[in-house]
Amino acid sequence: MTDQKEPRKQVRLSTLKKMHENGEPIVMLTCYDASFAHLLDEAGVDMLLVGDSLGMTVQGNSTTIPVSVEDMEYHTRCVAKGNKTAFILTDLPFGSYQVNDEEGMANCIRLIKAGANMVKLEGGEEICPLVRRLTAAGVPVCGHIGFTPQSINTIGGFFVQGKSDSGKEKLKREALALQEAGAAMVLFEMVPADIAAEVTQLLHVPTIGIGAGSGTSGQVLVLQDILNIYAGRKPKFSKNFMEGADSIQGAVENYVKAVKSKDFPTQSHSF
């Protein structure tokens, strides 16, 4: 007889907190449809990120700026239909929460009703009032700091954040402020590995890194990047997991194993 794989239990926020406390890396990948939601869930991915990166990978835009709330709601519904046990995190797109908190609240509720388990907002101290209101209303929030793609017109390009002393202090201040406001998770994008690891130790909530080294509670990458099918810019922090894999499922499983075993990311994928 062959050993049957024990079905995975539903991944909940409490599951992710326990993983963080126990030092078990959290695995996240972007996902935009039902078919891949099913595949990623079966491969053992803990969190599915319905990212506004779909503006680039799915819609063919050069940035995430054009993505609408309707886009995010549609793709969240698709992912929710294909998923069984993974935790779904959905991005709030540009313009959906910056105008006022009332509009931000309404749009977050739309995404939760569409199937998201948590919403992600870019920004630091300036979004804390909205984070407090969302948390009080029972909406789990993930903060996103460091390089924030929705601010690319202000930042001026794809640049690492937090390299200077003042930049490092800003990251610490923003992360602690988000946690104090009620954020249940913080994502660091394109920040030096040492500062991401240091801030992770200061927080009691899980952290997720993308181009932030191995010292965070978990890792996230763009699905199309690990499958080497995105025609756009290949970021330093990503890796082609199709190399050595005999299928897409195998590539995703290799990514899961690499993150869980802490073999990814390496120093070459960090700043």
Residues carrying an active site annotation:
189
User: Does residue 134 contact residue 106 with C-beta atoms inside 8 Å?
Assistant: no
User: Does residue 121 contact residue 89 with C-beta atoms inside 8 Å?
Assistant: no
To the question of whether residue 52 is assigned a binding role by annotation, the answer is: yes
Distance in angstroms (rounded) separating the CA atoms of residues 89 and 49: 5
3-state DSSP call for residue 270? coil
3-state DSSP call for residue 128? helix
To the question of whether residue 103 is assigned a binding role by annotation, the answer is: no
3-state DSSP call for residue 189? strand
To the question of whether residue 101 is assigned a binding role by annotation, the answer is: no
| Residue 120 one-letter amino acid | K
Q: Where does the chain have alpha helices with state H?
A: 13-22, 34-42, 54-57, 69-82, 101-114, 128-136, 152-155, 165-181, 193-202, 223-226, 248-260
To the question of whether residue 120 is assigned a binding role by annotation, the answer is: yes
Angle at CA 113, nearest 5°, toward 110 and 116?
95
H/E stretch holding 89: strand 87-91
The alpha carbons of the chain give a radius of gyration, in whole angstroms, of 17
Annotated binding site: 52-53, 91, 120, 122
Annotated binding site for Mg(2+): 52, 91, 122
Annotated binding site for 3-methyl-2-oxobutanoate: 52-53, 91, 120
